Amino acid sequence: MTTQIKRIGVLTGGGDCPGLNAVIRAVTKTAIWKHGIEVVGIEDGFQGLIEDRVRPLAARDVSGILTRGGTILGSNNRCNPRRYCVRVDPVTGPVWENVTDRCVDTARRHGLDAIIVIGGDGTMASAAPLVEAGVNIIGVPKTIDNDIVGTEITFGFLTAVNTATDALDKLHSTADSHHRVMVCEVMGRNAGWIGLTAGVASGSDIILLPEIPFDLEHVCENIDFRMKKGPGFAIIVASEGARPREGQQVVDRIDPTSPDPIRLGGIGRWVADEIAKRTGVETRSSALGHIQRGGGPIPADRILATHFGYHAIKTLMEGKKGRMVVRQGNVFGDVDLLHAAGKQRLVPVNHPLIEAARAIGTGFGDGKTPEPAAHAEPMGSVVV
Ligand code: F6P
């Protein structure tokens, strides 16, 4: 199918992640060099569309940014055109307005035939009113959380896993030296992909996921075994969205001006304090926080981001509208963007990696991993 695309915009929305610049580069170069399309960059996500902050992007503007962290366009995770905080009233709080028309006007004023929106589920939800208003949007799935519906992977995730695994490896040696329990809190919102993947990659002993509410009794039994009959230290990964069976997620902050106001954080510290109290074992906690979002992308993410950027333009040039590029079964394709908007892809509790982890004795705090004490020789014993 031929299509009349002459000029497009590109924006990055939501929390930043490694690989955003690699996508911007791939989108811009493919558009300009392969199709002769003009590209403009929209600054700070949808904020730039609302405030008409748009600048031309030439191929030279995206040269050398493949390896750079962050986004040259800026981003914003508090900006949904349908529900936009125009000001905060000192008495009544945030005042919301639907500013979709302002975004549509900016797109028209700049003659944009389409906008490539690089973002997570919140950004896709923010794009929805524009799609409904007739603006052609092609989404590219981004987030360290890897929780976007419709794609098996998002760029940024593998770099975050790499960062978390590196941190866990470092915690391993200090836990060993001091015979301590180390709890490391990782990001991911309501999804445990980072916790599960970095936990297995680092050989952590217990992994606490939002998808598997944990029981502190089981966690402490496991610690007790490792301290008395095992190596004398333990590493626990706690996803920020993890919660005890009878409890709630720990909220770090509420941002009233954001359409998605809850910011999780603090479960790692809580788990560490409880373990110390219940077992008497010296326990420390570290929260990796935004370190997981920073820095340049690892090679796998540079490649994924380049594929996604190229496929976004390919999808557009096939005449498609309102699509999000995805990878499924290692094959690139596209799905209805509205299908991904505002949803989260959680870790299935029977995920093969969870099964493999349980088989090698990794606990998930739910008592379902076979107790090592039940069938193993104490570590350090000599089996003749
Ligand atoms: O969605 C990406 C993410 O880093 C989450 O893992 C985390 O919960 C959240 O964003 C933090 O948001 P903020 O940057 O607003 O603190």
All domains in the chain, ordered by first residue: 7-155+297-340 (3.40.50.450), 160-292+348-381 (3.40.50.460)
Which tens digit of pLDDT belongs to each residue from 307-337?
A: 999 999 999 999 999 999 999 999 999 999 9
Residue 84 Cα to ligand 1 midpoint, Å, equals 19
pLDDT at 195: 98
- Best CA proximity match to 118, nearest among 214, 202, 22, 186: 22
- DSSP per-residue letters across 5-54: --EEEEEE-SS--TTHHHHHHHHHHIIIIIH--EEEEETTTHHHHHTT-E
- Best CA proximity match to 233, nearest among 379, 383, 382, 375: 379
pLDDT at 189 over 70: yes
pLDDT at 1: 53
Residue 263 Cα to ligand 1 midpoint, Å, equals 7
Residue 265: left if φ>0, alpha if ψ -120 to 50, beta else—which one? left
- Mean pLDDT, range 250-268, rounded to an integer: 93
pLDDT at 384 over 50: no
pLDDT at 228: 96
Q: Which residue is it, tokens 């359409």?
A: 259
pLDDT at 342: 87
Whose alpha carbon is nearest atom 16 of ligand 1?
Answer: 263
Q: At 257, is the pLDDT very low, low, confident or very high (cuts 50, 70, 90)? A: confident
* Largest distance between two CA atoms of the chain: 80
> Lowest-pLDDT range, 63-67, 155-159, 186-190, 253-257?
253-257
C-alpha to C-alpha distance for 147 and 264, rounded to whole angstroms: 15
Name the 3-class secondary structure at 358: helix
Of ligand 1's listed atoms, the one at least distance from the Cα of 265 is: 8
Confidence (pTM): 0.95
pLDDT at 377 over 70: no
For the chain, what is the mean pLDDT?
A: 95
Catalytic residue (choose from 16, 145, 205, 260): 145
Residue 226 Cα to ligand 1 midpoint, Å, equals 33
Residue 34 Cα to ligand 1 midpoint, Å, equals 35
Q: At 133, is the pLDDT very low, low, confident or very high (cuts 50, 70, 90)? A: very high
Which tens digit of pLDDT belongs to each residue from 193-248?
A: 999 999 999 999 999 999 999 999 999 999 999 999 999 999 999 999 999 999 99
pLDDT at 259: 81
Whose alpha carbon is nearest atom 2 of ligand 1?
Answer: 15
Contact 224, 279 (CB under 8 A): yes
pLDDT at 260: 85
> Lowest-pLDDT range, 249-258, 317-326, 350-359?
249-258
pLDDT at 379 over 60: no
Q: Which residues line ligand 1 (CB under 6 A)?
A: 15, 77, 120, 143-145, 187-189, 240, 263-264, 293
Asked about 273 being catalytic, the answer comes back as no
pLDDT at 3 over 90: no
pLDDT at 115: 98
- Mean pLDDT, range 344-369, rounded to an integer: 97
pLDDT at 105 over 80: yes
- Mean pLDDT, range 7-29, rounded to an integer: 98
pLDDT at 380 over 60: no
pLDDT at 159 over 60: yes
